[in-house]
Each structure stands twice: as C-alpha cells, then as structure tokens.
Structure 1
Amino acid sequence: MNQETPKRSEHKKSCVNCGAELLYKPGSSEVKCDYCGHEEAIEEAVSEFEELELFPYLEQMGAQSHTEKISMLHCKTCGANQHIEENYKSLHCVYCSQPLVVEDTYHEDWILPGAVLPFQLDHKKSHEVFRNWVKGLWFAPNKLQRAALDPQKTKGLYVPYWTFDAQLYADYTGQRGDYYYVTETYNTTVNGKNVTRTRQVRKTRWTPAAGSVSGFVDDTLISASKQRSNSIPNKVANWNLDALETFNSKYLAGFVTEKYTLPLKDGHLKSKQEAEKIATGWACQDIGGDTQRVSSLDMKLSEETFKHILLPVYISSYVYNNKKYQFYVNGQTGVVSGKRPYSFWKIFFLILFVLAVIALLVFFGNQ
C-alpha cells in the first residue's frame, strides 16, 4: 500500500478558534465550524476554471500540474471509490451502506477537478425533501416511512463527470422528405349498405440531399462513474452548469467525493457518440423539408478540450425484503427520485376493502 503523504488539498480544514473541523456551508461561499459557529470565506478563484487540451491527457494522463494524489476508500461490496475530506472515525458507502474500513485507505493519482458545483441544499433540507417525498408515496411500507426519519440514511456525495468541448465539422448525404396528399377512394358499409367514400392520404416525396454542417459543441456531459446498478435517475441528473465554480477543495469538506471510474479515454468515446447525434440533428435541420433521412455522416472534431467536474447529489439507501432501494435528491435543485418498494399487505387489504364495498353496494342494490 502506498503511504505517500497526501497533498495540501486533502488536509483537514481546522477552525482557528477551537480546532474543530470546518465544513462547507451549502448555498454559500463559506466553510463553517459546527462546534463554535466560526465561519470563513472560501477565497475567490484568481481565474476561471480551465478547459484542458484533450490529447496530451489521452496519451500520458496529462501534465503533472493538473494531477494529484488523493486518498481513497474502495467499497468491496459495490466497487465505488470514495474520497473523504474529513477524518471520519467510521464511514459507510454512500451507495450500498456497507462499512468502509478506514485502515484500507490508499492513495492514487487523479486528474484534478477543474470545477465544482457546490451544494445548495444542506443535509437538513435535503432530508426534509426526501422525507416529504416518501410521505407522498402510495403503498409504501411502514419500515420505509421509519427509515426516512433517520437522517443518517441520507448522505451527500459529489459525483464525477467529464465535459467535452470541440469544434465539429461533418459532411453528410441523405434525403429530404416533403409531404403531399392524394385523394383515395374506398368502400365501406353504412347501415348494411356498401358505400363509396374518399379520404386524404399523406405521402412523402423523397429527393437526394447532401451538404456540410459545422459548429461548436459545448459541455457534452458524460458520467464518469461506472455505478450502473446505482445510476442517478435522469430526472435528478439535471444540473445548471452555469453555476459551476472553479475547483476549491473546501467545497468538499463535509461531503464524500466519488472518484471517476470511467477513464478519460472511455468518456471521450461516449462524447463522440453524443457529438454524432448532435451532427445528425444539425444535418436534418440543414436538409429541411418535413422529414429527413441521413444516410452517411463523415464527422471530424478539432480543438478538443475537457474538464473533470464534480456535481452534488444526496443519496439514501434502504433495504426491504432483502432488496436494496436507493433514492436521490439533486443537491442543487432539490429534485427527488428513485426506485421504491411497495407494501404487499397494504395493497392486499386495499383490494379486500374495495371488494367488500362492491359486495355491499350489490347487496343493498338488490334489496
């Protein structure tokens, strides 16, 4: 195990008054001591977050000035790699709630985040949002209701993403479809008699099309986590990236940070697939008409850059009937979603109640 000393950004932030840990105060630009109430401003960045040239990183993991060693804890149950800014005495995996062994901490290189989207909801508010959501679930087990009252079940996590920028140029061939209508005659039966009627039928006139499209593809967002079984629902994974801040590790204090497990190379391949979808959409707009077909697309990307960013989410994990369920709250917007269990007995007794009501109505209706 590599015992190399972590760099400054990993060191615990201590209160100047009492020496307790300083934690990031969501919705602000400050860190706060929960023990004595002392607050400190997070210093403003001297420059905007930087877009990094892609290919040097693809070839050799990038320049040393943008990589650093970070302390990591690996969950042996679900495989998530998690970094903590504080000295936790005990910690459970945010994804599967299994204990993490602090003695298993190791250090490895990561590409430094270029930007972070700070939490806007604190733990108390996020738990309130989650609890209200649970209360509104029909047929939820009582155990879920009780679990929702335990704040320890809700954890704040910064999840890793790659974003990619590029100049896009593409040649395409395809077809333009223009609608036109023809009158058709058909036979039908009305009141037992055969009658002849007409109707308008839409047809498509296809003509060959070819051309080129170009433009700037900005901030293609690719999840850098391989937690497929624990993937964040699309409803929750929707952040306003205009609120990104230049990375400062003080924003991480008090939260768990997941290290990317999707390599930059694989993230780049996914971004190219997204770029092809964008280029196809541009080609369809360029072809015009009522509908379009794109037969071939020769796409080229240039001036490619990327950045590693961290985005906020709260996770609550719950086991019911030996099956794990997870719920997510967007740490910026408060949107909540997740898979939920159903109570068999609540549904069963509701069906019995409905059947009993129907039986009574039938009984009294026959009196």
Structure 2
Amino acid sequence: MEEEKKIFSEQKKSCVNCGAELTYKPGTSEIKCDYCGHEETIDQQEDEFKELELKPYLEEMGSLSHSEEITMLHCKNCGANQHIEENYKSLHCVYCTMPLIIEDAYKEDWILPGAVLPFQFDQKKSHQIFSKWVKELWFAPNNLKKAALDPEHTKGLYLPYWTFDAQLYATYTGQRGDYYYVSVPYTKTVNGKSVRGTRQERRTRWSPASGNVSGFVDDTLIKASNQRKNPIPSKIAHWNLQSLEPFNTNFLAGFVTEKYTIPLKDGHLSSTQEAERIARSWSRHDIGGDTQRVHSVNMSLSEETFKHILLPVYISAYQYNGKKYNFFVNGQTGKISGKRPYSFWKIFFFVLFIIALIALIVWLADTYGNQQ
C-alpha cells in the first residue's frame, strides 16, 4: 500500500519556472501553471484500465491492495464528502457554497479510481453555457442572471461511479406471441339504414418458449454517491465512456473530487438488478415473434470485475430569496440542467398583457360586428 501511495502522490508537480502548483488544462493532455503559463504533458502509462476482481473486495479481502489515503472535507450543511486538491483556491462546498473548514479535514482510505474522464472544456466555457441558458429562460428574476453568471459560483467536480463487467448466462421460460388477423362482421347505421361489413381485427397466437441467453455485460454504470439534497439531474448524467483515460492524479489538479458514499456491495447489488433487466431483454429478443411474455429468468454472473471511475460535471450554486438553486453542466458534452426561480412580477404583467390582448380582440370583434 505504501508503494502505491508513493507512486500516485509523486504525480503532483510544481512549475519548474515559478514553483506554483500545475493544474489540469481541460480538453488536453497537459498540466499548466496558472501564473506563468508553463505547460507539461501528462505522462500516461500504456497499460489498459485496471479491472479489479470483484469477489475479493466484496469479501473485504485485498481492500488495501489498490487503495490510497486521501484528505476529506465534510460539508455540515448538505452532507457532501469532498476531496480538494492542495492547489484548489476555494474551500467552499461545490453543492451549496457553504464554507468548508480546513481544520475539519480527516483522512480516509478509498479504492483508487481505475479510470477518469477528463474535463473537455474549462470553467470559462461552462460559464458561457450558463450565460446562454440563463438568458434564454422565460420569467427569470433579474438578479438570477447576476448570480448564475458569476464565475466564482462555478466549480468543476469529478463524480464517483462504479462500473461492472461480467459474463452473463441465463435460462428463461415464457411465451412467443405471433400476430394474425381475422375478418369480423359488423353492422352500422348510415342515413337511417343498417349497413353490414367486415373489418380486420388483430389477434395473438401464443406458444410456449424456453431457452438460454449469454453474453458479456460491459461497463454497467452505477452512481457511487448519494446526494439527497442536490442530486445530479439524470438529464445530464450521460457520458461517452470510450473516452476514459487511465487514472492519473494530474487530471484532478485544480478540481474537486467527490468520494463515493455508496459502498461497493450496494453498487454491485444495483448492477446485478441492471443485469437482470438485460437478461430479460435478451430473452425477449431470443424468443422472437411479434410480442413476448417472459415468465421466469434464472441468471448467473461470472468473471465479475469492477472499476471506480471519475466523471466530470460543472456545478453552480447560489442563494435566491433564502432558497438554494443548483445548475449542472456535463463536463464532457456541455449538456445543462438546473432548477430556477420565477419572477412573480414578470408573470403577473405577462398575464395582464394576455388579458388585455384578449379584451382588445373581443372589442375589435364586437366593433366590427356592429359595423356590419
């Protein structure tokens, strides 16, 4: 474990020109100095991502063979657990903006990430995305725009996820449904007369089905943190995992990293439930026909492995009339989502305008009608 810690801690670098800490430059393979502009290429290993065998970790064996001790800060306001790199300038919670007290920092072991999806654009670009989105909002309070457009309220956060791989094998029983059509007579009344005819009705012919399906389930993505107050919207929680890079702490420099709070065993349970859904889907496809019924699926998983990965999101949080609002931007795709307040007066005057417009239309219609 000590060797592992040493390897990863040595990847933090200082600028050779001025001694300042180098930070990751989003969308590149470079780390840069924010003071003098010096840049260096991140030295990436040629090895593939480390897929860890699942069973020893679930049995609490080998949990120290691929782990590291990190410094954590716990937000007493919203409960988020955050690891902030030494060179990160602001000690405020990324979710609720409350100050974090450095004296409350504590040490924890975590399973080292096997891969990271680096930020593909910087804070300035995320600020531009916020700006465009806020400007297009209808009925937004004027001071909402001022709050959301403040770059100091935008933070880059790496979210923890589990990914699971496994060989899936399942047997199933069910029914195959094939459509067929029959002519059905009918009678209807047309102009007071009864008219007879036929129409085609669809029926389903069911036959028993059973069999087995198998295949490789790759990168089942399971969220590894549980933010009850400020969950990441599902609308933006989609990343292209083909762009994952082998884990290197240099990618984290200058950003906040959230530690997983959903244990590996709970993440594995969720991935197993997803595997069962996949097994049912494969069974339906294997049954064929026009429609299917799956009565039972007996599934088993083998050769299970997992990774702890980090995925990028920009977060903006601010207070408005005593209530907190969050905005989220996917750090890879630029997709944005968030909650927003509405201006009572803008809506009020808009409703008055609509009422006045309707009244004007009615008045013009009456005037025109009287002139006729």
User: Could you say which TM-score interval applies, normalised by the shorter chain?
Assistant: over 0.9
| Alignment check: 8 A CA contact 1:173 1:295 kept | yes
CA RMSD, 1 decimal: 1.7
Deviation of residue 242 (structure 1)?
0.8
Residue 64 of structure 1 corresponds to 64
Which has the larger displacement, 321-330 or 342-351? Answer: 321-330
Which has the larger displacement, 122-131 or 141-150? Answer: 141-150
Residue segments in structure 2 that go unaligned for 5+ positions in a row: 368-372
Query: 2:238 aligned with 1:238, yes or no?
Result: yes
Residue 280 of structure 2 corresponds to 280
Query: 2:359 aligned with 1:359, yes or no?
Result: yes
Deviation of residue 48 (structure 1)?
1.4
Which has the larger displacement, 222-231 or 125-134? Answer: 222-231
Q: Deviations over 1:216-238 (max 9, x none)?
A: 00000000011144222222111
CA distance in 1, matches of 2:179, 2:329: 45
Residue 208 of structure 2 corresponds to 208
Q: Deviations over 1:118-141 (max 9, x none)?
A: 001100001101110111111122
Deviation of residue 321 (structure 1)?
3.6
CA distance in 1, matches of 2:190, 2:146: 63
Relative to structure 1, the CA distance from residue 112 to residue 27 in structure 2 (aligned partners, 3 Å threshold; closer, same or farther) is same
Sequence identity, in percent? Answer: 72
Alignment of 1:31-70 (within 5 A): 31-60=31-60, 62-70=62-70
One-letter amino acid of the structure 2 residue matched with residue 343 of structure 1: S
Residue 3 of structure 1 corresponds to none
SS state of the match for residue 120, structure 1?
A: coil
Residue 159 of structure 2 corresponds to 159
CA distance in 1, matches of 2:49, 2:35: 33
Alignment of 1:68-147 (within 5 A): 68-88=68-88, 90-147=90-147
| Alignment check: 8 A CA contact 1:164 1:220 kept | yes
CA distance in 2, matches of 1:94, 1:61: 34
- Deviating beyond 4 angstroms after TM superposition, the runs of 4 or more aligned structure 1 residues are 87-90
CA distance in 1, matches of 2:68, 2:81: 16
Relative to structure 1, the CA distance from residue 345 to residue 120 in structure 2 (aligned partners, 3 Å threshold; closer, same or farther) is same
Residue 225 of structure 1 corresponds to 225
Query: 2:253 aligned with 1:253, yes or no?
Result: yes
Deviation of residue 192 (structure 1)?
4.4
Q: Deviations over 1:29-58 (max 9, x none)?
A: 111001011111110214111100001111
SS state of the match for residue 71, structure 1?
A: strand
Alignment of 1:177-196 (within 5 A): 177-196=177-196
Relative to structure 1, the CA distance from residue 92 to residue 22 in structure 2 (aligned partners, 3 Å threshold; closer, same or farther) is same
Relative to structure 1, the CA distance from residue 61 to residue 71 in structure 2 (aligned partners, 3 Å threshold; closer, same or farther) is farther
One-letter amino acid of the structure 1 residue matched with residue 331 of structure 2: G
Which has the larger displacement, 281-290 or 45-54? Answer: 45-54
Residue 268 of structure 1 corresponds to 268
Residue 294 of structure 1 corresponds to 294
One-letter amino acid of the structure 2 residue matched with residue 118 of structure 1: P
| Alignment check: 8 A CA contact 1:158 1:311 kept | yes
Deviation of residue 65 (structure 1)?
3.0
| Alignment check: 8 A CA contact 1:89 1:102 kept | no
**Number of matched pairs:** 362
CA distance in 2, matches of 1:198, 1:348: 57
Deviation of residue 87 (structure 1)?
4.2
Which has the larger displacement, 247-256 or 57-66? Answer: 57-66
One-letter amino acid of the structure 1 residue matched with residue 100 of structure 2: L
Please report the TM-score for the alignment, with normalisation by the length of structure 1.
0.94
SS state of the match for residue 59, structure 2?
A: helix
Relative to structure 1, the CA distance from residue 324 to residue 309 in structure 2 (aligned partners, 3 Å threshold; closer, same or farther) is same
Residue 345 of structure 1 corresponds to 345
| Alignment check: 8 A CA contact 2:63 2:111 kept | no
Please report the TM-score for the alignment, with normalisation by the length of structure 2.
0.93
SS state of the match for residue 230, structure 1?
A: coil
CA distance in 2, matches of 1:13, 1:92: 24
CA distance in 1, matches of 2:189, 2:92: 71
Relative to structure 1, the CA distance from residue 132 to residue 180 in structure 2 (aligned partners, 3 Å threshold; closer, same or farther) is same
Residue 370 of structure 2 corresponds to none
SS state of the match for residue 232, structure 2?
A: coil
One-letter amino acid of the structure 1 residue matched with residue 240 of structure 2: N
One-letter amino acid of the structure 1 residue matched with residue 366 of structure 2: N
One-letter amino acid of the structure 1 residue matched with residue 14 of structure 2: S
Deviation of residue 185 (structure 1)?
2.5
Q: Deviations over 1:304-341 (max 9, x none)?
A: 00000000010111333433222111111111112222
One-letter amino acid of the structure 1 residue matched with residue 53 of structure 2: E
One-letter amino acid of the structure 2 residue matched with residue 344 of structure 1: F
CA distance in 2, matches of 1:323, 1:289: 54
Relative to structure 1, the CA distance from residue 272 to residue 191 in structure 2 (aligned partners, 3 Å threshold; closer, same or farther) is same
| Alignment check: 8 A CA contact 1:57 1:63 kept | yes
| Alignment check: 8 A CA contact 2:88 2:255 kept | no
Relative to structure 1, the CA distance from residue 207 to residue 322 in structure 2 (aligned partners, 3 Å threshold; closer, same or farther) is farther
| Alignment check: 8 A CA contact 2:283 2:294 kept | yes
